[in-house]
Amino acid sequence: MVSLPVLIPLSEAARKYGLEERDLRDMVEKGKIRAGVTMDKMIVVNEEDVLHQAMESQGLSKEDLPEYKMYAHLKGIGIGINEAAKEYRIPYVTIYQWMSSGIIKKLGREGQKVLLDKADVAYCAEIYRRRGIKGRKLFNSDGTPYQSKKTTHRIS
């Protein structure tokens, strides 16, 4: 099943992510954050979009994301590409592409085996499971989750 976006009230998003409500409204107007209006005229925003905008405005990296922090204990542990593909059930070529683009850090070699940072692999696997649709871009060049074009919807 496709994962649905989490929508939260605009005021709650502002508090939670340390942003001004008027700035969030501007981002909605500019199409940077997907939003909706409930039947009682409350504006709700896509939490993932707000997080992305907060990260951008505060200069945060993928390591600051909750999805990455879940696997921070794996940082510096090496795992081979084949091993990672089997363990996380992700195609070898997908993991290889993430490594080639720098989203997954290469730790070195062990003989012929290329060792990847297991925390990066686990983080990418988490995003892949949540948002992965074959052939779709999942990551920005800095390793943060990719955001598609934004639209505003009316919620019935």
Domains and CATH numbers, the chain: 7-60 (1.10.1660), 67-131 (1.10.10)
pTM value > 0.75? no
Q: Residue 145: which of 49, 36, 7, 46 has the closest Cα?
A: 49
Q: CA 105, 103, 100: angle at the middle one, nearest 5?
A: 80
* Three-class SS state of 32: coil
* Per-residue pLDDT tens over the stretch 117-151: 999 999 999 989 887 666 677 887 778 777 665 44
What confidence score (pLDDT) does residue 95 get? Answer: 95
Q: What per-residue string of b and e applies to 101-116 under the rule 16 or more CB within 10 Å gives b?
A: eebbeebeeeeeebbb
What confidence score (pLDDT) does residue 117 get? Answer: 97
- State the average pLDDT over residues 85-94: 95
* Per-residue pLDDT tens over the stretch 7-48: 999 999 998 888 899 999 999 999 889 999 999 999 999 988
